[in-house]
Amino acid sequence: MERFVDEAFLERLANLRFIVKGRRKGHLSGTHVSPRSGISLEFADYRQYAPGDDFRYIDWNIYGRLDRMLVKTFVHETDLPVYLLVDLSGSMQLGSPSKARYAARLSAALAYLGLRSLDRVGLYPYSEDLASLVPPRHGMAHFGRILRALSEIDPGGGTSFDTAVRGFLNRTKESGLVFVISDFMTSESCQDAFARLLHRGDEVVVIQILHPEEIAPTPSGTTRLVDVETGRRLTLTIGKRALAEYDARLRELRSGLREFLTERGIPYFLAPTDLPIERLLHETFRTGGVLQ
Amino acid sequence: MSLLNPGTLYLLFLSGVVLLLFFLRARERRREVSALFLWEGLKGDPQSRATRIRQQIDWLLVLQLLALAALVFALAEPVRRVSVSRLSELAIVIDGSASMQTSVDEETTRYDLAIAEALELLERYPSTPTTLIQLSEQPRILASPDMSHEDIANTLQASAPTFFADGSIDDLSSIMSVFGGLASHERVVLLSDHALEAAPTTLAVRIVTGGENRALSAFTVRENLSGPGATAFVEVSNHTDEYQDTRIRISDGVNQTSISILLNPRETTQYVVPFPTSRGTEFSASLSPTDDFPLDDIRYFAVDRPLDLRVRWAGTANRYLKAALEAVTPVTLVGGDDEADLTILYDVAEFRNVEGNVLLIHAGMDDYVELGPDARLSGSIDVLQPQSPLLAGVDASSFRFTALPAATDLAGGSILLEQDRHPLLIVWEEAERTVAFVGPDLMTTNLPIVIDFPVLIRNLVTRLTRLPAASTYTWNHAGGAVALDGLGTIGELLDADDRPLALPAGASVFHPEKPGIYRLVTDRATYPIAVNVSPEESRDPVPASSVEAVDRSQLLDTTLQPLWPWLALLGLLLLLAEGVRYAGFEWPPHWPSWTARLRAVSFISRRAR
């Protein structure tokens, strides 16, 4: 199994947690405030202390016996289904490291954050349709299954986000926090798909992964361009003028997506593959109000 | 700047391999994209030639080629001259070969010019320990470093050029090894009229030139086999830019012959000069008028025996046979113990086997032929081998015999003529000698009075002696080794002026110092030995412009400084830059951690290995 993350990497994510805007109707214990009322503080589980946790919940008796700092969680903190919709179409295999690998590492980090918060995390890779999925479960044992699934991903084929979302909604009955990780390098409109997600009540976060060479290609003279998803070819002399036109088109594509999402309150993040994932989580996601 | 090892520049052809690999790898520029729709409909850039070239430049390739060029030039060991004001050790090598005797004007020779240059060097570096070498085929140390410059200058002015051939770089290295070798001297200056072949560039060459020359570049003489006298073969070289009206004179000390020739500029021509009146063994060829290098205007040649046929005669005298012999070639009758070219046995029934070539006429000899009683003849002569050269020009049908001895061939010879089954002419060809048998007593035949008789005798003598001069001849030259072995017990050796030379006991070679005819007296005979100046000395003087010679100011004030370490460093830096660029590192680098940096360093070092 390919190793995406190591302990040091996870350690540095320990003090992060998702920010959920509304009260969730979770049915298992978690760290999110439940919309249900009248439930007293009832002990549910222990977890490792992380800087930022409320000191009041540290169990000092356990610390005295085991020399480990654990904090108590309570049943009135409900869990949150976290869905990871990861694009595994052919275009994600470009770059070194590839966009797919970057997406896999990011997914692993988000899954860890979710499971650590006692949430259920599910993995839904897609290309032209949903691929083999990992249904949402909670507990750190589930993290291994997600990592195994991520290590076995093999990008290829075309992209149909709309079909994938339809399949996703059919297979999941409960709304939750949906991370959509894709390069969105498609001419197909994604608006209907996002509208369906919002309609069900999902909180959606969109992360667009692009390779730096896609954002700012270098001149290469007369070049044969090959579409990795369709195999179509085009010969073009790539100089300053062609690159300027390309840049304008890409900006238009990105701004169209960002404006649509922003209008609907969906956070949108651009993640170039040369941006370290820790910086993405600690700085970009925090600034964007996804993590705290 | 000059290169010590320019042959390594051929390694630049390796750039062809680099280019070939590049074009094989980058024949098609191809880029995979996530979505082609972003590119479709774009107007491609109209490319100017410069833009196209700039975009197509592969900087990795450029760096590879530059690194290769730098490393190859480093291997070629470039050096440059830098100024120096004082030397730690100086060696002056003055060419003392024969060509340095060439006059450049009425009072000055090339050697004088070289002495003047050497004196100037001594004056420029008065406190520098100096070695003085006279270079030739027999190099000499004229002065060692512990001598004062005044003594060195006196020695230099008292020295004279030799008659010897040029010295080689090996000769120079050998004699310089006495003082620690060529490399131990900060500067070695060669003053010569030619560049030294295969000499290191660290050897500063100062060319002294001047004088015009025509030369006898080859000379040999061969005796005529089919008649009296000799033929001379002469090669003449005109090293001037003008036509030369010249006379070649060939002499054997008694008689002489000459021809007049017109020599074309810069041309070498061979001439065959008949010398039918010659009877000598010591020859000279001379050119007239003489020029600035007279040593090659006269050449010597000697055969190691007289041209006369030395005949040992046994048995009855016969004046008809002797007359026929002398009609063929000059004949000298020698005694029984003297060295002979031919032994004639005439009218002897039995004779012991003798060494060397033998002509038997009506005579028998052990192991070859036994004579029986005379037999009466009735038939005609049978010619068994009409194509034999011994019968060339001979009409055997004109011969008349009244009787022929019954001869028994004991050694399986080749019968050429016979009558009534009795052999008339038999020849035994052996590796070391030839024996011929003529059966009848000449006085009982008509042979002495027929015109074919001297023709038959000429054929027999030519076949029996077969001692022509060698078709190739190695010149003995002054300073070279002359072999003395195989000529008998040495009595004395006389030089070209007939003065005796002292030879060590048991010496098998000697080194003549001057050209001329030497004479070696042994218990067998007196052998003339011709000694000439080496023909190499006759070549064109090398113009200074054609040699990588230095001018006087460079010669005196500069030394060589190696540049290859800087080029090697540049090559390695270019390789490092190529490796960094290949790995895709940017500058300034944005490596995330020391671990990544260490990985990068490890990668570069692996690639460098």
Say how far apart CA A268 and CA B38 lie, in whole Å: 21
Query: What are B136's two structure tokens?
Result: 């030739």
pLDDT value at residue B553: 46
| pLDDT bucket at B598, cuts 50 / 70 / 90 | low
Say how far apart CA B463 and CA B445 lie, in whole Å: 23
Q: For chains A and B, what is the number of CB pairs under 8 angstroms?
A: 89
String of b and e for A146-177 (b: at least 16 CB within 10 Å)? Answer: bbebbeebebbbebbbbbbbbbbbeebebbbb
Query: What are A144's two structure tokens?
Result: 């291994």
pLDDT value at residue A37: 34
When scoring B36, B43, B590 by the number of chain A Cβ atoms within 10 A, the one with the most, hence best to mutate, is: B36
Say how far apart CA A151 and CA A142 lie, in whole Å: 14
pLDDT value at residue A74: 66
Is any Cβ of chain B less than 8 angstroms from the Cβ of A289?
A: no
Say how far apart CA B432 and CA A117 lie, in whole Å: 118
Decide if pLDDT at B523 tops 80.
no
Query: What are A62's two structure tokens?
Result: 């356990």
User: Taking residues B394-410, what's their average pLDDT?
Assistant: 84
B36 to A94: CB separation less than 8 angstroms, yes or no:
no
- Closest partner residue to B33 (CB to CB) among A186, A226, A240 is A226
- Closest partner residue to A236 (CB to CB) among B34, B39, B51 is B39
ipTM over 0.90: no
Is any Cβ of chain A less than 8 angstroms from the Cβ of B49?
A: no
Q: Which residue has the higher pLDDT, B362 or B558?
A: B362
Decide if pLDDT at B156 tops 90.
yes
| pLDDT bucket at A70, cuts 50 / 70 / 90 | confident
Give the H/E segment covering residue B67.
helix B59-75
Beta bridge partners of B520: B493, B527
Is any Cβ of chain A less than 8 angstroms from the Cβ of B29?
A: yes
**Residue B53: exposed, middle, or buried by beta-carbon count in 10 A (0-12, 13-18, 19+)?**
exposed
Say how far apart CA B187 and CA B556 lie, in whole Å: 10
Is any Cβ of chain B less than 8 angstroms from the Cβ of A41?
A: no
Virtual torsion, Cα B345, B351, B352, B357, nearest 10 deg:
20
Decide if pLDDT at A30 tops 70.
no
- How far B28 CA lies from chain A's nearest CA (Å)? 8
List Cβ<8 Å contacts ≥24 apart for A279-283: A280/A106, A281/A13, A281/A16, A281/A109, A281/A113, A282/A12, A282/A16
Decide if pLDDT at B112 tops 90.
yes
Within 8 A by CB and 6+ apart from B274, the residues are B229, B231, B232, B257
User: Taking residues B259-286, what's their average pLDDT?
Assistant: 89
Say how far apart CA B89 and CA B563 lie, in whole Å: 23
With beta carbons less than 8 A apart as the criterion, state whether A70 and A111 touch: no
Query: What are A164's two structure tokens?
Result: 């994938």
Decide if pLDDT at A56 tops 80.
no
| pLDDT bucket at A79, cuts 50 / 70 / 90 | low
Is any Cβ of chain A less than 8 angstroms from the Cβ of B53?
A: no
Give the H/E segment covering residue B66.
helix B59-75
Decide if pLDDT at B250 tops 70.
yes
pLDDT value at residue B55: 56
Nearest CA in chain A to B29: A223
Decide if pLDDT at B537 tops 50.
yes
Q: Any idea which residue has 């009135």 for tokens? A: A76
pLDDT value at residue A233: 86
Give the H/E segment covering residue B371.
strand B369-376
The CATH fold of domain B82-211+541-562: Rossmann fold (3.40.50)
In this prediction the pTM is 0.45
A242 to B45: CB separation less than 8 angstroms, yes or no:
yes
How many CA atoms does the CB half-sphere of B366 hold within 13 Å?
5
Decide if pLDDT at A23 tops 50.
no
pLDDT value at residue B599: 62
Q: Where are the domains of chain A?
A: 17-77, 80-287
User: Taking residues B345-366, what's their average pLDDT?
Assistant: 88
When scoring B32, B33, B582 by the number of chain A Cβ atoms within 10 A, the one with the most, hence best to mutate, is: B33
**Residue A245: exposed, middle, or buried by beta-carbon count in 10 A (0-12, 13-18, 19+)?**
middle
Residues of chain A positioned with their CB less than 8 A from the CB of B33:
94, 214, 225-228
pLDDT, tens digit, 9 for 90 and up, residues B477-504:
999 998 887 777 888 899 989 999 988 8
A246 to B38: CB separation less than 8 angstroms, yes or no:
yes
Q: Which residue has the higher pLDDT, B591 or B151?
A: B151
**Residue B405: exposed, middle, or buried by beta-carbon count in 10 A (0-12, 13-18, 19+)?**
buried
A91 to B34: CB separation less than 8 angstroms, yes or no:
yes
Q: Residue A98 is which amino acid?
A: S
User: Taking residues A94-121, what's their average pLDDT?
Assistant: 89
| pLDDT bucket at B8, cuts 50 / 70 / 90 | confident
User: Taking residues B467-471, what's their average pLDDT?
Assistant: 46
pLDDT value at residue A34: 46
Is any Cβ of chain A less than 8 angstroms from the Cβ of B59?
A: no
Is any Cβ of chain A less than 8 angstroms from the Cβ of B42?
A: yes
- Closest partner residue to A242 (CB to CB) among B30, B31, B43 is B43
Domain B82-211+541-562 and domain B309-465, same fold? Reply is yes
Decide if pLDDT at B160 tops 90.
yes
Query: Is residue B443 helix, strand or coil?
Result: helix
Query: What percent of chain A clears pLDDT 70, i.e. is strictly above it?
Result: 88
B34 to A187: CB separation less than 8 angstroms, yes or no:
no
Q: Residue B272 is which amino acid?
A: V
- Closest partner residue to B39 (CB to CB) among A234, A240, A253 is A234
Distances (CA, A) of B571 to B59, B63, B71, B565, B568: 15, 9, 5, 10, 5
Please work out, in degrees rounded to the nearest 5, the angle formed at the alpha carbon of residue B267 by the alpha carbons of B262 and B273: 55
CATH superfamily, region A80-287: von Willebrand factor, type A domain (3.40.50.410)
Residues of chain A positioned with their CB less than 8 A from the CB of B29:
220-224
- What does the DSSP assignment read for B109-153? BHHHHHHHHHHHHHHHSTTS-EEEEEESSS-EEEE-TTS-HHHHH
The CATH architecture of the domain made up of B309-465 is: 3-Layer(aba) Sandwich (3.40)
Q: What distance, in Å, lies between the first and last C-alpha atoms of chain B?
A: 32
User: Taking residues A211-236, what's their average pLDDT?
Assistant: 85
Is any Cβ of chain A less than 8 angstroms from the Cβ of B47?
A: yes
pLDDT value at residue A281: 87
- How far A93 CA lies from chain B's nearest CA (Å)? 9
pLDDT value at residue B28: 54
Decide if pLDDT at B586 tops 60.
no
Q: Pick the closest to residue A22 from A177, A137, A172 (CA basis).
A: A177
| pLDDT bucket at B86, cuts 50 / 70 / 90 | low
Query: Is residue B27 helix, strand or coil?
Result: coil
pLDDT value at residue B570: 92
Q: Which residue has the higher pLDDT, B431 or B213?
A: B213
Decide if pLDDT at A69 tops 70.
yes
Decide if pLDDT at B122 tops 80.
yes
Strand B500-501 and strand B140-143: pairing?
A: unpaired
pLDDT value at residue B607: 61
pLDDT value at residue B340: 83
Q: What is the mean pLDDT of chain A?
A: 83
Is any Cβ of chain B less than 8 angstroms from the Cβ of A202?
A: no
Is any Cβ of chain B less than 8 angstroms from the Cβ of A98?
A: no
Is any Cβ of chain A less than 8 angstroms from the Cβ of B27?
A: no
| pLDDT bucket at B285, cuts 50 / 70 / 90 | very high
- How far B15 CA lies from chain A's nearest CA (Å)? 24
With beta carbons less than 8 A apart as the criterion, state whether B405 and B437 touch: no
pLDDT value at residue B85: 56
B33 to A228: CB separation less than 8 angstroms, yes or no:
yes
Query: Is residue B436 helix, strand or coil?
Result: strand
Say how far apart CA A80 and CA B352 lie, in whole Å: 138
- Closest partner residue to A228 (CB to CB) among B32, B37, B592 is B32
When scoring A222, A233, A277 by the number of chain B Cβ atoms within 10 A, the one with the most, hence best to mutate, is: A222
Decide if pLDDT at B162 tops 50.
yes
| pLDDT bucket at B461, cuts 50 / 70 / 90 | confident
Decide if pLDDT at B75 tops 70.
yes
Nearest CA in chain B to A244: B42
Decide if pLDDT at B298 tops 90.
yes
pLDDT, tens digit, 9 for 90 and up, residues A169-196:
998 888 889 999 999 988 888 889 999 9
Beta bridge partners of A78: A29
Residues of chain B positioned with their CB less than 8 A from the CB of A239:
44-45, 47, 51, 55
pLDDT value at residue B126: 83
Query: What are B196's two structure tokens?
Result: 């030294």
Q: Where are the domains of chain B?
A: 2-28+50-76+564-608, 82-211+541-562, 309-465
Beta bridge partners of B423: B418
Q: Residue A266 is which amino acid?
A: I
Decide if pLDDT at B101 tops 90.
yes
Within 8 A by CB and 6+ apart from A82, the residues are A18, A110, A111, A114, A119, A120, A121, A122, A136, A176, A177, A179
A220 to B51: CB separation less than 8 angstroms, yes or no:
no
- Closest partner residue to B35 (CB to CB) among A221, A227, A238 is A227
B229: left (phi over 0), alpha (psi -120 to 50) or beta: left
Q: What is the mean pLDDT of chain B?
A: 83
Residues of chain B positioned with their CB less than 8 A from the CB of A221:
29, 47, 52, 55-56
Residues of chain A positioned with their CB less than 8 A from the CB of B592:
276
HEC per residue, chain A: CCCCCCHHHHHHCCCCCECCCCCCCCCCEEEEECCCCCCCCCEEEEEECCCCCCHHHECHHHHHHHCCCEEEEECCEECCEEEEEEECCHHHHCCCCCHHHHHHHHHHHHHHHHHHCCCEEEEEEECCCECCCEEEECCCHHHHHHHHHHHCCCCCCCCCHHHHHHHHHHHCCCCCEEEEEECCCCCCCCHHHHHHHHHHCCEEEEEEEECHHHHCCCCCEEEEEEECCCCCEEEEEECHHHHHHHHHHHHHHHHHHHHHHHHCCCCEEEEECCCCHHHHHHHHHHHCCCEC
A183 to B34: CB separation less than 8 angstroms, yes or no:
yes
| pLDDT bucket at B436, cuts 50 / 70 / 90 | very high
User: Taking residues B188-212, what's their average pLDDT?
Assistant: 83
